[in-house]
Structure 1
Amino acid sequence: MESYGSVTYSEHFLISFLATVGFALAGESFNLYRPWRAGFFKQLVFYTILSWAVALILVLGSLFFTKLSVSFSRVTFGLLFSLAILSLLGWSLCFALFLFHIRSKGFNTRNVAIIGLTKGAVRLAEQIQGRPETGFRLLAIYDDRAPERLDPQYHSLLQGAVAEGVTQAKQKKFNIVHIAMPLTDEASVKEILYQLGDTTDNVQLIPDFFTYCLMNATMAHVGQVQTISIYNNPMKGGSAALKRVEDIILAMGILTFIALPMLVIALGIKLTSKGPVMFKQHRYGLDGNEIKKLKFCSMTVDENGATVTQAIKNDARITPLGAFLRITSLDELPQLLNVLVGSMSVVGPRPHAVSNNEEYRKRVDYYMLRHKVKPVITGWAQINGWRGETDTIEKMQMRIKFDLEYIRHWSLWMDFKIVLFTFTKGFVGKNVY
């Protein structure tokens, strides 16, 4: 058998095959091969690197268990894998720039029409017109109402009544037709869908988010009965396993660096105040089941009853060391142990006191939907400035808004951004006491 140095060509081929298969499978799992019309190049780069990292782990694991690692040059191995990822990223960049260029010239585009100028339609139109790289071109909007009752910004795109839009669709003027009629107008929506069934257009229904708070809505079925899941957890099946792996890697990685600082904090608490170093707070976890969240003691009281008073500025209950721990979020570090045992996650909606949950679920719409995922250490709301005291209902509403937005749009890329921004602006806040 021919060989190159001490490694045979067949062994080189095997390593290349494993890397290719590993990258392909990981890329499929991360939806890397989606049609990136959304134009999010940063996500494309992130998932390409992540897929290649999985392939690298697969190859290294195979070399270790087959004891072939001693036969390969570390320098050559590292150089080849580095060149490979640079080639993949270079190809992705060049192809993305190529698509952006030809779409800006009117090629590789999809002609779009919208039926019904509702608020959902306006948001869709803004996305299409604001992102030319997506390759969508909004040609017309149809609505039965008089133009003076509609958003004047889109009068130039109004091409007539709904019936005219259906006629144009039958004449193959569009590739995609979005129906943005209010879902309460069931009869009209049903008739439009029936009429568009006589076309070859891709017909998409825009849910009325101002009527329904859809949460990862998906098609499901019970036996032969088709259903739509309205409030759903985005992290199930493979996604749940991926999220759990992410949590374990992040928690163990962070604990490796902060174990010694945590011991110093624990010693400082013991020397400067009475009572335990850590305590357990009762919180709602996944699906509203109660969990016990660990924290460093930062106050002279441990409130876990029916009434919990939020910390305020110059709160007399906060110890001198506790004030520093709370402002810098260092009191939250023990929650990494909650992450390891699986009761919490690293990224998502922050848990509130049980008493606060019971209060605000009656005052804030869709409040309890934040418990469709595990409670966490840091989240989308926190890095956007909604951290700390919620002394007004408006502050809590904004926090819930960002929490639900996270659940709707969850991805590894979003988690990566949140962790990154947590280190730059998520640990402190003007409302943190």
Structure 2
Amino acid sequence: MSLVSSYSDWLRRGMRCFDAAVALLVAFALMRMLPGLDHTERLEYPLLIIAGSLLLPACGELIGLYQPWRGRSLYTMLGVYVLSWLTTIVLISLLLVATQSTQTFSRLWMGAASLGVLGTGALIRAALYGYLRRLRAQGHNIKRIVLIGPQSNVSRLEARLGSMPFVGYRVTHRVIGDSVKAVRDEVRSLATVSIFDRDFDEIWLSYPLAQGDRVRQLADELVRVPVSIRYFPDLSDVRLLNHRMAQVAGMYSLDLNYSPLNGPMRLVKACEDRLLGLLLLLAFLPVMLGIAALVRWKMGGPVLFKQQRHGLDGKSFKIYKFRSMALHEPGAGTQQATRGDPRITPLGAFLRRTSLDELPQLYNVLQGRMSLVGPRPHAMDHNEYYKDEIEAYMQRHRVKPGMTGWAQVNGLRGITDNVETMRKRVEYDLFYIDNWSLGLDLKILAMTLTRGFINRQP
């Protein structure tokens, strides 16, 4: 076993112990510090603390919290940690309800201990993540790799790794050549001398898909070497949105428009939407009631604007907003708001500028028809137009539309008065779909608080 593998195993065990220790220490400290907490000579508190401290790393192991951090973003790692923490809280709550023990413990202590564990664990994780990045950038904790492929592909991979020294990969060997026999002979020789003793940790192959036979031959030669073998296909000759290898009916396929938001991850995102959506609805409910009263007073009824939009898989649903325009006869198609639009009332202009008119969509989120984060839903006739103008436009509907999105927090919102503007927005939407993670969702929600509410467009 290499030093890097040994270090990774040690780190995984250490992080599991760390999570358990944080839960123990924080919960016990708050139990001692909170005034008026009757915990003396009672075993219930220590037993609950021990159960929670053991449950947290167990949930983390199931969700993938202790997978190697190398190459993962900080937001993704913290997102998985938050999900592990939420799962632990839910399981403990169910245990307390099942045993009818909810009245035994102080709610103030349970809330403080839960948030204390979350905050402490997240802060130390973020600090350790930054430390490891600096350590790798300085040449420590490095994984040594062998690159095999044509000169252009090897150079492309080296340039990519050179631009990201913090991921901790260093090229130690290269096998380059156009001659099939020469490359295979060199690979066979490398494999023979590297079976039991080697100075590399991974082998990376990079060839076009059309040269699949060569990849298979080289993989057969390398299978004797007990290290990870990765294939980075050169897909320049194939039009792809995003891709992955999958096994279907015992056969391997290359999914050409794969999104991480599939299978179990849809359940994860649904839990995220329901839990955070409910919390946000409760937090904004007084504001929403106040806005509803103002709209009724200033503009009369109805308070809500309702319109059909395309959602997941292109299916229609009814979207809700606070009404921001005076009542008018609808035209043949959807007319976008423009600067100085006489239909927009003064109150409506304020609601649109602050995005407060979008708050009723929290109900759409709780209905399961929208997500907190996702591509913004466009008017149906706009979809009819742009689906023929922008090649991958309808790929936006592979996920639920969102109240906020990657395009919106990057300034692509409001009027789309030409194809190029819409094309740029679609590029950001597809980036979100192709690179979805719980961490990316949390990042977008955080960015929405700082730059996503104020809308300078009509």
User: Are positions 1:136 and 2:169 aligned together?
Assistant: yes
Look up the match of 1:166: 187
Match of 2:286 among 260, 268, 282: 260
What is the 5 A alignment of 1:28-427?
28-38=61-71, 40-41=73-74, 43-68=76-101, 88=121, 92=125, 96=129, 99=132, 103=136, 106=139, 108-116=141-149, 124-140=157-173, 143-144=176-177, 166=187, 169-170=190-191, 171-172=193-194, 174-186=200-212, 188-197=214-223, 199-208=225-234, 210=236, 211-215=238-242, 217-222=244-249, 224-273=250-299, 276-299=302-325, 300-301=327-328, 307-427=333-453
Return closer, same or farther for 1:235/1:101 CA change in 2, 3 Å cut-off: closer
Residues of 2 paired with 1:107 and 1:42: CA distance? 23
1:286-329 Cα offsets, whole Å, 9 max, x none, are 11111121122223447586x32322222233333222222221
With the length of structure 2 as denominator, give the TM-score of the two structures. 0.76
Aligned partner of residue 253 in structure 1, secondary structure: helix
1:189-239 Cα offsets, whole Å, 9 max, x none, are 4554455446544222224565343446351312x3333433345334432
CA RMSD of aligned residues (A): 3.7
Moved more, 22-31 or 345-354: 22-31
Higher relative contact order (CA 8 A, sep 6+): 2
Aligned partner of residue 376 in structure 2, secondary structure: coil
Return closer, same or farther for 1:240/1:76 CA change in 2, 3 Å cut-off: closer
1:56-83 Cα offsets, whole Å, 9 max, x none, are 4433543454344555577877787677
With the length of structure 1 as denominator, give the TM-score of the two structures. 0.79
Q: Does structure 2 conserve the Cα–Cα contact (< 8 Å) formed by 1:129 and 1:138?
A: no
Gaps of 5+ in 1: 146-160
Q: Does structure 2 conserve the Cα–Cα contact (< 8 Å) formed by 1:103 and 1:109?
A: yes
Residues of 2 paired with 1:54 and 1:217: CA distance? 28
Look up the match of 1:158: none
Return closer, same or farther for 1:122/1:375 CA change in 2, 3 Å cut-off: farther
